[in-house]
Amino acid sequence: MIKKFFITGTDTNVGKTFVSKILLRKASQIGYNTAGYKPVASGCKKTPLGFFNHDAIILRENSSVILDYQEVNPILFFENAPPHFLSKIYNRNIKMKNLSLGLKKIVKKSNWILIEGAGGWYTPISYQDTFSDWVKKEKLIVIIVIGIKLGCINHAILTEKAILSEKLECRGWIANHTIPEDKYNLYYIQTLQKYMNSPFLGTVPYLQKKNQINFKKIKIILPE
């Protein structure tokens, strides 16, 4: 059976890609053929081989199956701005059918797929559709990444309510410490455990140097 999960966040810059990296590694360790998919990305970095999106590179490097960059990230914009703005400016329409076509290609190679959105749940991909519309069309299982900081409780509750209102399954949420922990972080998580309806999958500690992560010490339950 092929497992397909969509990673959304309570906001931009809450660590969706870093959490995706951890989940891809954990799934690979128990025998899945894993693949990361970033259908739409904004913002590039220059490499000796050309311009690529940093998040898409991380997903590709942490997939256990061999994927071309274009397979991981078929739609790329150079500027770091909302994709529906850029698609309008550069006359490059983002169509849901193209996102689905890219996913079908990934499915042929992998049985455990992590799809990373852009920004939060209702990030537009055009002036007609949001990422949530595509997730609903594909009937994907959703995982929420919550950046633990002031304001996260309200954002998390609203995000989960929006997902459930679409009759989608939210398989769980992950608390990611994106800033150095303060004395209230534990209370944020305790409050979220009380108010969130979906399972608590674990926490990711604040890491100043993310390339030195010890994956065995990250206590996250892999969604099934």
The gap from C-alpha 71 to its chain's centroid, in whole angstroms, comes to 16
Dig out the tokens for 155 from the structure. Answer: 């954002």
Other C-beta atoms within 10 Å of 27: how many?
A: 25
The answer to whether 215 is a known ligand-binding residue is no
The answer to whether 16 is a known ligand-binding residue is yes
Radius of gyration of the chain measured on its C-alpha atoms: 17
The answer to whether 117 is a known ligand-binding residue is yes
Which is catalytic among the residues 38, 46, 161, 217? 38
Contact 57, 104 (CB under 8 A): no
Nearest by Cα to 142 from 116, 119, 118, 123: 116
The answer to whether 55 is a known ligand-binding residue is yes
The answer to whether 181 is a known ligand-binding residue is no
The answer to whether 34 is a known ligand-binding residue is no
Contact 155, 45 (CB under 8 A): no
The answer to whether 35 is a known ligand-binding residue is no
Catalytic annotation on 45? no
Q: Which residues are annotated as a binding site?
A: 13-18, 42, 55, 116-119, 176-177, 205-207
Q: Which residues are annotated as a binding site for substrate?
A: 42
Q: Which residues are catalytic?
A: 38
Q: Which residues are annotated as a binding site for Mg(2+)?
A: 17, 55, 116
Q: Which residues are annotated as a binding site for ATP?
A: 13-18, 55, 116-119, 176-177, 205-207
